[in-house]
Chain A
């Protein structure tokens, strides 16, 4: 084939352009640390990376949500523990009077203490966690229990009956806060406030029969209710804690997949850049040699 000078120039230029273009791509890879810098670099991987980023965002959100659910559960657990202690003390008081250990002024002292327990109980039930009323259902900005009279003649629940929950997985709901009407009352004899009030009133009216009978039943029912709530909080907490662990693992996996999908292999990139440097030098050297000599130089 005839090889006119223009072909040699073209070939050299094309080669140098190819190298420059490849260098540009590799420099971008090295600079960003990413293998895919635009969707067309690898459309499948680009879509995959988009999906993985979304999943990561959702998993991170789920993590915060689980953490906030756990905060509510821990506050609930604390409140229930405190309630159990109050009821424990109330039961002791009830047993003391029923056993006839106190007569006369003793009843009043017990009535007084029972009233204090009741007040403490109201403050436990009106507790806030994260700036929200814990037991108000979804009426979280006002205290869920209001009282009438001093001493209290009535303790009224003013929250609503909606529970609060988190979804660790689609379709799964874990209750993180119960409304007070469900937390402290089972709708029947198991009612913490009613039990404490009954104890106080019976002590005040020296009604030993009631103390031994109705009051004791109520206190026991309230106590049992709280033990059940404790079990619920425990199981809900461990469910969420497991979810947090799973979520951490999942998030790490997603991160790993994302990195595998879009990260550049830096070693490979740098080696390739070095290879290109050699190619470029060779091309330039060959070009200068080839173009050096023509017949002109021989014609003296």
Chain B
């Protein structure tokens, strides 16, 4: 009879625990990254009592966390790609805005107006008004080139600042993962709750994948090993921190180079890399255009004659997209613009040649200024569109995995309510057993001999 009361007590305890767990699940239903928990109850072994064996009730061995390592790993892999392409798309969109021609007035428009005004000067080479137009539009063209160059450099500078702050974030994450490793492994043997810690660590690992493209393996002893391109950054309770120089990432402690090619940092580095960085490439494209214009126009212009007979003057000053400007001497004296090849006011051969620069194959590969610029715009368009498509594709892949993982670990309120009813019924039944044992004991005690 004393066995029955013990058994009923174990039932009461286990049901109570189960109700506690249910309450915990319901409370955490909307917590990001929470994995639902459930009691793992086992039958207590029989204790010998005379000749028969009767089980001794129920014991909740542990509180199980429903999570799937493989799905979590898969999610991290895809999130690393997603972080990369999202960030790449973001950066490229900013670059794209610099080269947007369709609904803003950009470089293409400035090229059009400049060459248009030169062509009009060909019809009226003596006209001071037409000269002023040429110089004003030349100034506009130079300003648009400088502005595009400046915008690209601002994006580059901001991206570098962002890398610095993201490296800080990643280092914090690495530290925290190492700390959680220590806590989880340390508590591993006992029945202490590591479920919450593991949820927390999963969240951090996902963020690490997103920022750094880090890969993670969970060890036998439940410790997370975080690595980037084969170099372990978190091993057990220790973390190696990163630092960023202009040419790439290194491990702060030993200076070892480490290639980060995925995650947000991978994309940002690709944007600003000193060799073949995306932004550097576009800056150099602009420089090529600017220096070609400067060289060719100066060669033609300095051979011509202004209305005042002046000759040998450059049209542009500067050497690249960053410092191109119309010769200030010409702006002060528009009559010095050299339209004439021989000094005759009505001769427009130099202006005609300048207007024809657009059609000259001046650029590498025999391209004209315009075809070169078209290629630049086309390439930024294609790159941005590709990054966007990748990022959108990955979004739906990540969504799919999250849905899959949520279907295992997410809290379903209906399910919890069903469990609540189930555990309440069990609790009530065990209570009833106690009641009956009490009545039996009462009956025994009431016996009179």
Contact = CB atoms under 8 A, between A and B. Distances in A.
Interface in B119-152: 119-120, 122-127
Interface stretch (B12-20, B291-299, B399-407, B437-445): B399-407
A6 B29 contact: yes
A34 B100 CA distance: 13
B103 A37 contact: yes
B233 interface: no
A34 B103 CA distance: 8
A10 B346 contact: no
Q: Looking at chain B, what size class is its interface with the partner chain?
A: 35 or more
Nearest to A295: B417
A279 B229 CA distance: 44
A40 B385 contact: yes
Contact of B381 (A5, A39, A58, A140): A39
B19 to A, nearest CB: 14
Given A5-B411, A43-B385, A170-B359, A137 B344 contact: yes
Interface in A30-45: 32, 34, 36-44
Counting chain A CB atoms within 10 Å of each CB, the highest count among B36, B101, B108 belongs to B101
A4 B102 contact: no
Interface string A83-109: 000000000000000000000000000
A10 B403 contact: yes
A81 interface: no
Nearest to B116: A61
A160 B359 CA distance: 30
A49 B406 CA distance: 47
Interface string B375-405: 1011011111100100000000001001100
Interface in A2-57: 2-7, 10-11, 14, 32, 34, 36-44, 46-47, 49-51, 53-54, 57
Interface in A138-183: 138-141, 160, 162, 164, 166, 170
A53 B101 contact: yes
A68 B410 contact: no
A39 B344 contact: no
Given A39-B381, A51-B374, A54-B112, A3 B97 contact: no
B381 A162 contact: no
A47 B340 CA distance: 35
Given A32-B103, A54-B370, A162-B344, A47 B413 contact: no
Nearest to A64: B120
Interface stretch (A128-136, A189-197, A213-221, A238-246): A128-136
B408 A2 contact: yes
Counting chain B CB atoms within 10 Å of each CB, the highest count among A1, A7, A14, A166 belongs to A7
Given A7-B407, A160-B344, A47 B377 contact: yes
Contacts of B96: 38-40
A60 interface: yes
B108 A50 contact: yes
Given A51-B374, A53-B109, A296-B413, A39 B100 contact: yes
A141 B345 contact: yes
B6 interface: no
Given A6-B406, A50-B377, A170-B359, A139 B344 contact: yes
Nearest to A160: B344
A297 to B, nearest CB: 10
Contacts of B418: 295
A64 B102 contact: no
A40 B93 contact: yes
Contacts of B375: 47
Contact of B340 (A130, A138, A294): A138
Contact of A61 (B102, B120, B127, B415): B120
A276 interface: no
B371 to A, nearest CB: 8
Contact of B407 (A4, A38, A44, A130): A4
Given A46-B102, A170-B359, A4 B412 contact: yes
A39 B101 contact: yes
A112 interface: no
A45 B430 CA distance: 75
Given A2-B415, A37-B103, A39-B100, 16 more contacts: A6-B411, A7-B410, A11-B403, A37-B102, A42-B381, A50-B374, A51-B374, A57-B115, A131-B127, A137-B346, A138-B342, A138-B345, A138-B347, A162-B347, A294-B413, A296-B413
13 contacts: A2-B408, A5-B413, A34-B102, A38-B97, A38-B384, A46-B378, A46-B381, A50-B108, A50-B377, A57-B112, A57-B115, A62-B119, A166-B123
Interface of A: 1-7, 10-11, 14, 32, 34, 36-44, 46-47, 49-51, 53-54, 57-58, 60-62, 64-65, 68-69, 130-133, 136-141, 160, 162, 164, 166, 170, 262, 294-296, 299
Interface of B: 29-30, 36, 92-93, 96-97, 99-103, 108-109, 111-113, 115-116, 119-120, 122-127, 340, 342, 344-348, 358-359, 370, 373-375, 377-378, 380-385, 388, 399, 402-403, 406-408, 410-415, 417-418, 421
